[in-house]
A and B are shown apart, each in its own frame.
Chain A
Amino acid sequence: MGQLTSRLTLTGSSADYGAAVALSTTKLLSVQKPFIGLSKEVVTTTGANHIILPNLDARRFVYVKHTGLDSTGAATIADLHVETYTDNTGSDQAIMILKTGEFAFFPFDNGLADPANGDDDNKLQLQATSGTIVAEYSYYTVAS
């Protein structure tokens, strides 16, 4: 078991919002195996080929970033979809959309569904809207 310190800061000007936005929040997370350290994946338009979270009955914190590059290193404006499974039959659904440089950090467990009997419920996949996107990601399983 290990510790992760996660911190998010959000800032915005008073000119834009009437009052300055200045949020900083920190959480010490207790995590365990399995985890995947900072990794990169060339994501195509076939999300089923880019499952970044295996089908485990576990809650995981996930980091995903759209690097803005495609498989050749050229800039891409394609969107990166983060997709979950909506039932046990393999149907997927986009729940997040990232553009160049954008990132997400979130807990994922798909309702604590039990992925027994081959259910798809607890997988998470990435998909490009066109071409390829180099995505950066990692995940850590929350210690129960």
Chain B
Amino acid sequence: MATITTKLTVTGSAADYGAALALSVSDNLQVTAPSKGISRFDLAVGGNSVLLAAGDAGTTFLYVKNNNTTGSGSIQIETAGGTDYGTIENGEWGWIPIDTAVGCRLTGAGAIVEVEYAFWSRT
């Protein structure tokens, strides 16, 4: 068993939101295999990459980022079965506790995308 410490901060100005936004949360996650260290690959337009096959009940913590900085390439986040529920544009990222029973697949759109990702399974 190992530990991953996660921390999210989201900030915004009072001028934009009526009151300053200052969210900060962190958590120590107890994780185990299967896991994947911080990795990168190129995802082609229309190409699919199943990061997590649909499997047993549980949670896999997924970090995924569109590492492009310009251009029209985006990543569609889907269940392993192809249900699409999110789009990651240039430079954006997500921290997603994936329901392992439905898994996760990425599909490229618009242009080739450099995908950065990592995941760890909850103990």
Evaluate whether A102 and B87 lie within 8 angstroms (CB atoms) in the complex, with A23-B118, A29-B92 already known: no
- Say yes or no: A106 contacts B77, CB within 8 Å: yes
Chain B residues near A142 (CB, 8 Å)?
89
- Say yes or no: B10 contacts A12, CB within 8 Å: no
How many residues of A are counted as interface, with CB atoms below 8 angstroms from the partner's CB atoms? Answer: 50
* Shortest beta-carbon distance from B66 to chain A in Å: 10
Give bound CA distance, A101 to B99, whole Å.
16
Give bound CA distance, A35 to B122, whole Å.
31
Interface of A, secondary structure class, is strand
* Shortest beta-carbon distance from A71 to chain B in Å: 21
Q: Interface size bucket, B side?
A: 35 or more
In the complex, whether B96 has a CB less than 8 A from a CB of chain A is yes
* Shortest beta-carbon distance from A13 to chain B in Å: 7
* Shortest beta-carbon distance from B31 to chain A in Å: 8
From A4, A9, A102, B12 is in contact (CB under 8 Å) with: A4
- Say yes or no: B93 contacts A25, CB within 8 Å: yes
- Say yes or no: B25 contacts A3, CB within 8 Å: no
* Shortest beta-carbon distance from A116 to chain B in Å: 18
**Chain B 70-109 against A: per-residue CB contact (8 Å), 1 yes, 0 no?**
0000001101000111111101111111110110000000
- Chain A residues proximal to chain B, CB less than 8 Å: 1-13, 16-17, 21, 23, 25, 27, 29, 35, 37-38, 59, 63, 65, 81, 84, 86, 93-99, 101-112, 138, 142
Question: Mind listing 8 A-B residue pairs with CB under 8 Å?
Answer: A2-B12, A9-B6, A10-B6, A21-B38, A102-B29, A103-B8, A106-B94, A111-B84
The 7 closest A-B pairs by CB, nearest first: A2-B16, A16-B2, A111-B84, A106-B94, A9-B7, A11-B5, A97-B59
